Amino acid sequence: MKPVKTLDDVVIRFAGDSGDGMQVTGSQFTNTTALAGNDFATFPDFPAEIRAPAGTLAGVSGFQIRFASSDMFTPGDAPEVLFAMNPAALRANIADLKPGGLLVVNTEKFVAREFEKAGLTTNPLEDGSLESFQVVKVDMTQQTKRAVEGLELGTKEVDRTKNFFALGIAYWLYSRELGPTERWVESKFKEPYKEANLRALRAGHAYADTLELFTARYEVPKARLTPGTYRNIMGNQALSLGMVVGAEKAGVQLFLGSYPITPASDILHQLSGYKSLGVVTFQAEDEIAAVASAIGASFGGAIGLTTTSGPGMALKTEAIGLAVMTELPLVLVNVQRGGPSTGLPTKTEQSDLLQAVYGRNGEAPVAVIAARSPADCFDVAVESIRIATTYMCPVIVLTDGYLANGSEPWNVPDLSKIPAFPVTFKTSADGWLPYGRDPETLARPWVRPGTPGLEHRIGGIEKAEGTGSVSYDAKNHEKMVHLRAQKIAGIKVPDLEVYGDPGQLLVVGWGSTFGAIRSGVDLARSRGYSVAHAHFRHLNPMPANTAEVLRSFKQVIVPEMNLGQLSKILRADTLVDCQPVTKVQGQAFKVSEILNAIVAALSQQAAK
C-alpha cells in the first residue's frame, strides 16, 4: 500500500482533444468530489469549434477543478496536477503547471506525425523540457484497448473510452470512490458502451494501484462548510432554477423566448424540460424575435424572459427600449463572452456592462444586476423577477461564461423561506389609468388582456402621463423621461457592504470577479496589508451608500475583465478617482494578479 498523504487544497487540470471527453471527465471528477464533501470550484475551458482538427492546439479542451478542505472561491491560479491526453494538450497547458507538479501523459500520440500537428519539433517526453515536473507516462489508449477486449467496439469507440481510464487513475490518486461515476455511467450509456466505460474506469484505477506509478496517493478532508444540504451546481443551472422559483414567487407563468447562443444555450435547454411546471419555452427565429416574444408574453400577463450573450443583446436593443416605453416587466439574461462581434464565444469577459446600463437609443434606463458565483446566479434570477414585476420594468442580468459553466457546492435554500412577491393584476376600472402609477414604486398597473372594461392600447410612441395615449407634447415627453428615470433610480437595493480593513485601499468589483478579488484580499491581509473589498450586485441603480463608501478610502482600484467599464461609471457618478485594473484575455483573474494589484496600489500610496 502506498502512503496516503493529507492535503488541504488541490488544483488539477484535465486536457485533451475536443473529442477526448475532457468535459465529461472533469464534470465526473467534480461530482465525485462534491459527494466526498470538499469545497470546490471548476473552470471548463473549451474551443468554439466543436471538433477542430484532431491533435492541433486549436482543438485542445480543458477542465480545471480545485478542491479543498476549507472554504474557497476560485478554481485556482495554476494546477499542480495535469493530465495531458496528447502532445497538443501538453504544449497548450504545460506552462501553467506548477514547478514540481505532477504530469500524467497519455503516451500513445507521442509520435513524429502528432508533434507536427501540435507545432512541436522535438518529443517533449525526451528533450528534457519536462525536467522540473514529475512525469508519469501511461499508454492509456493501449491499456484501454486491453480492458475492453471482447466487447464489440470499433477503434474509434475504444478510443472514446480512454477518458474513463484517465479518470480511474485520478480517482486512485485522490482516494475517491468509483461509485458515483459507475452509477452515472449505468444510467447514461447503453451496452456495450456502458460496460466499456465501466471497464476503462476500473482498469485505470487498478493500473494506478498495481503499478508503481506514483510515489503517494492523497486525500483531502471534508470541508468545514456552513451546515445544510448541498449540491453541485453550475451557473446556468442555478440561473434556470432561480427563474422558475422567481416566477413561482411572483405567481405568474414563466415564458422564455430565446435563440441559441454560446454560452447561454444551456438555460434554454434546461427550461425547455420544465413543461410539467407550466414553463413555456420558445426557440425563436432570431434574437429579436426571442425578446419580442417575451415582451408579448409579458403583455399577456406572464413574466417574459429572454436569454442571450453579448451579440444577442445588441440585437435585442430596440426591443428593450419598447419594454422601457411600455413599462412591461422583462428579464434579459446576458451570459457575457469575449467581444466585440463574435469575439471569443467560449471565453469569459465582463465587457457588456456599459451596453447593459446605457446601450439603447433614447433615455432608456433599466435595472442591471450581476451574479458573483455559479450558485449566486439562483439568487440573482429570483431578484430579477422580483424587480421586473414590482417595478414594471426590464431587468438585465449579467453573468458570464466563467459563471455559466463553472460549478461550486451550493447550500440549497429552503424554498419556503424565500419571501413571495405576488403580482396583483389590475382588474377594477374604478379610477384606473393605463399609465397611472403606484405612489411608492412608480410602477404602472399590469392588466391582462381579457379583463373587461380595462381595454387599452400601449406602444413605442411617447405616452401621455396617466392616460397612456399617444403624445408628442414637449413638456409631457420631458416629464415621462424623468418619470421613467426616477422609477429605476428608486428601486430599493441593499447597501454596499465592505469586507476587510477600513480607510486605506478598497478593491471594488462586480460579477464573477468576486472569488478572485475576495481571495486576493484575504491573501493580502494575511500578509499584513490593509485592504478591503466591496462587490456590486446592483449596478443600476447602485446602492445608496456607494459614494460614501468609495470616499471613505484613500484609494480605490477596480479589477474588471474589460477596459474599465465599472470604474468609468463610478467615476462619473461619484467623482472618486477609481483606478481600473484590467484584464481582457478571455480568462478570469488569478488570485495572484489581484494580490499584485493590491501590493502595487499600496506601494504607490506609500511612495506619495
Partner 1 sequence: MSVEQRTFAKKDYMSDQIIRWCPGCGDYAILAQAQTVFAELQIPRENLVIVSGIGCSSRFPYYVNSYGFHTIHGRAPAVATGLKLARPELSVWIATGDGDALSIGGNHTAHLLRRNVDVQVLLFNNRIYGLTKGQYSPTSEIGKKTKSTPFGSVDHPFQPLAFALGCDASFIARSVDIFTTQQRDVLKAAYHHKGSSFVELYQNCNIFNDGAWDQLVDKTIRDERCLFLEHGKPMVFAGGKRGIRIKGHRPEVIELGDGLSADDCVIHDETDAFLGGILARMDYPEFPVPMGVLYRNARPALEDMVNEQIQAAQAKGRPDLQQLINGRETWKVE
Q: Which of residues 108-167 bind partner 1 (CB under 8 A)?
A: none
To partner 1, the closest distance from the beta carbon of 219 in angstroms equals 17
To partner 1, the closest distance from the beta carbon of 222 in angstroms equals 8
How many Cβ atoms sit within 10 Å of the Cβ of residue 343? 17
Q: How far, in whole angstroms, is CA 152 from its chain's centroid? A: 40
Which position among 133, 207, 255, 402 is part of the footprint of partner 1 (CB under 8 A)?
A: 255
Considering the complex, state which of residue 194 and residue 448 has its C-beta at the smaller distance from partner 1. Answer: 448
The region of 245-253, 338-346, 494-502, 577-585 touching partner 1 under the rule CB under 8 A is 245-253
Assigned C-alpha cell, 156? 474509434
Residues between 384 and 423 that touch partner 1 (CB under 8 A): 411-416
Q: What Rg, from alpha-carbon coordinates, does the chain have?
A: 26
Per CB under 8 A, 285 contacts partner 1:
yes
* End-to-end CA gap in the chain: 60
Which position among 58, 420, 461, 544 is part of the footprint of partner 1 (CB under 8 A)?
A: 461
- What is the C-alpha to C-alpha distance for residues 165 and 159, in angstroms, rounded to an integer? 10
The region of 86-94, 444-452, 499-507, 514-522 touching partner 1 under the rule CB under 8 A is 444-452
| DSSP states of 301-322 | TSEEEEEE-HHHHHHHHHHHHH
Distances (CA, A) of 572 to 41, 263, 364, 565, 607: 35, 31, 18, 11, 27
- What is the C-alpha to C-alpha distance for residues 379 and 239, in angstroms, rounded to an integer? 8
To partner 1, the closest distance from the beta carbon of 376 in angstroms equals 15
The region of 12-20, 87-95, 140-148, 458-466 touching partner 1 under the rule CB under 8 A is 458-466
In the numeric block, the cell 494589484 is attached to 597
Residues between 166 and 195 that touch partner 1 (CB under 8 A): 180
* Binding residues for partner 1, total number by CB under 8 A: 75
Is the separation of the CB atoms in 357 and 316 below 8 Å? no
- What is the C-alpha to C-alpha distance for residues 516 and 438, in angstroms, rounded to an integer? 41
Assigned C-alpha cell, 325? 416605453
Which position among 123, 129, 175, 253 is part of the footprint of partner 1 (CB under 8 A)?
A: 253
Residues between 321 and 360 that touch partner 1 (CB under 8 A): 321-322, 326
Considering the complex, state which of residue 391 and residue 410 has its C-beta at the smaller distance from partner 1. Answer: 410
Q: Is 447 exposed, middle or buried (0-12, 13-18, 19+ CB in 10 A)?
A: buried
Find, among 405, 74, 105, 140, the residue nearest to 94 by Cα.
105
Considering the complex, state which of residue 453 and residue 466 has its C-beta at the smaller distance from partner 1. Answer: 453
Which position among 228, 340, 362, 466 is part of the footprint of partner 1 (CB under 8 A)?
A: 228
- What is the C-alpha to C-alpha distance for residues 8 and 68, in angstroms, rounded to an integer? 5
- What is the C-alpha to C-alpha distance for residues 114 and 141, in angstroms, rounded to an integer? 15
To partner 1, the closest distance from the beta carbon of 414 in angstroms equals 8
Show Cβ contacts of residue 63 under 8 Å, excluding neighbours closer than 6 positions: 13, 14, 15, 22, 23, 25, 26, 27, 29, 42, 43, 44, 45
To partner 1, the closest distance from the beta carbon of 273 in angstroms equals 9
To partner 1, the closest distance from the beta carbon of 540 in angstroms equals 23
To partner 1, the closest distance from the beta carbon of 473 in angstroms equals 14
To partner 1, the closest distance from the beta carbon of 589 in angstroms equals 28
- What is the C-alpha to C-alpha distance for residues 271 and 241, in angstroms, rounded to an integer? 8
Considering the complex, state which of residue 448 and residue 479 has its C-beta at the smaller distance from partner 1. Answer: 448
| DSSP states of 288-300 | HHHHHHHHHHHHT
Residues between 286 and 325 that touch partner 1 (CB under 8 A): 286, 288-290, 292-302, 304, 318-319, 321-322
Is the separation of the CB atoms in 556 and 578 below 8 Å? yes
Considering the complex, state which of residue 110 and residue 171 has its C-beta at the smaller distance from partner 1. Answer: 171
Per CB under 8 A, 457 contacts partner 1:
yes
Per CB under 8 A, 448 contacts partner 1:
yes
| DSSP states of 510-534 | EGGGHHHHHHHHHHHHHTT---EEE
To partner 1, the closest distance from the beta carbon of 294 in angstroms equals 6
The continuous run of DSSP H or E covering 487 comes out as: helix 474-489
Residues between 265 and 284 that touch partner 1 (CB under 8 A): 274-278, 280, 282, 284
Which position among 2, 9, 35, 436 is part of the footprint of partner 1 (CB under 8 A)?
A: 35
Considering the complex, state which of residue 192 and residue 300 has its C-beta at the smaller distance from partner 1. Answer: 300
To partner 1, the closest distance from the beta carbon of 166 in angstroms equals 22
The region of 48-56, 220-228, 481-489, 560-568 touching partner 1 under the rule CB under 8 A is 220-228
**Strands annotated E in 309-385:** 330-336, 367-370
The region of 139-147, 163-171, 221-229, 340-348 touching partner 1 under the rule CB under 8 A is 221-229
Considering the complex, state which of residue 187 and residue 210 has its C-beta at the smaller distance from partner 1. Answer: 187
To partner 1, the closest distance from the beta carbon of 71 in angstroms equals 11
To partner 1, the closest distance from the beta carbon of 255 in angstroms equals 5
Find, among 84, 92, 81, the residue nearest to 108 by Cα.
84
